[in-house]
Amino acid sequence: MRRTPRSQISWLDFFVISPVLTRRVFLLLLLSCLILLPRLQCVGSPKQPPGFEILVSRQSNTVTQKVLTTDGKECKFPFRFGGMIYHNCISMNSYKAWCSLTHNFDRDQKRGFCSSPKRMFNGFLPLRQGPSLCQQNPCLNGGVCATNTNLDSFDCVCPDGFTGALCEKKKCYEPLHLKHYDIGESWGRIYQRSVELCTCLGGEVSCKRARYTVCLRNHCENDGVCRIIEATGEEVCGCKSGYIGKYCNINPQEQCYRDSGAQYRGLANATVSGSSCLSWNSDLLFNELTVDTVDSATLRGLGEHAFCRNPDQDKLPWCYTMTDRAISWEYCNIQPCSKQPSSRRGPVIAAALRPSRTPARTPVCGKRHKKRISRARILGGTSALPGSHPWMAALYIKDEFCAGTLISSCWIVSAAHCFLRNPLQSQIRVVLGQHGFNDTGPNTRTFGVEKYISHPLYTQFLPTLNDIALVKLKKVNGRCAQKTPFIRPICLPGKDTKFPDHYCCKISGWGHMSEKANSYSQLIEGVVKIIPFDHCSSPEVYGSEVRSGMLCAGSDSCVDACQGDSGGPLACECDGVSFLYGIISWGDGCGRSGKPGVYTLVPKYADWINSVIKRSKQTSANRTKINICIGNQ
Catalogue the active-site residues.
417, 467, 566
**Sheet strand arrangement including 225-229:** 212-214, 225-229, 235-238
Please, are residues 237 and 315 in contact by the beta-carbon 8 Å criterion?
A: no
Please, are residues 510 and 492 in contact by the beta-carbon 8 Å criterion?
A: no
Which H or E run contains 450?
strand 449-454
| 568 SS3 class | coil
> Exposure of 545 by Cβ count < 10 A (0-12 exposed, 13-18 middle, 19+ buried)?
middle
> Which neighbouring-strand residues pair with 57?
144
DSSP letter at 513? S
How many helices (H) and strands (E) the chain has is answered by: 5, 38
Nearest-angstrom CA–CA distance, 328 and 387:
10
Nearest-angstrom CA–CA distance, 482 and 479:
8
Nearest-angstrom CA–CA distance, 427 and 416:
16
Q: Which stretches of 482-625 are assigned E, i.e. beta strand?
A: 504-509, 524-531, 550-554, 569-574, 577-586, 597-601
Which H or E run contains 15?
helix 11-17
Nearest-angstrom CA–CA distance, 251 and 234:
23
Nearest-angstrom CA–CA distance, 242 and 248:
9
> Which neighbouring-strand residues pair with 451?
472
Please, are residues 592 and 439 in contact by the beta-carbon 8 Å criterion?
A: no
- Sign (positive or negative) of CA dihedral 237, 243, 244, 248: negative
Closest CA to 606 of 508, 491, 504, 500: 491
Give the total residue count for the chain. Answer: 633
Closest CA to 578 of 320, 370, 331, 289: 370
Nearest-angstrom CA–CA distance, 600 and 569:
10
Q: Phi and psi (nearest 5°) for 74? A: -90, 130
Closest CA to 135 of 14, 53, 80: 53
Nearest-angstrom CA–CA distance, 18 and 14:
6
Which H or E run contains 626?
none
> Exposure of 565 by Cβ count < 10 A (0-12 exposed, 13-18 middle, 19+ buried)?
buried
DSSP 261-317: STT--S---BBTTSPBPPPTT-TT-SSBS-TTTSTTTGGGT-SSS---B-TT--SS-
Nearest-angstrom CA–CA distance, 261 and 318:
9
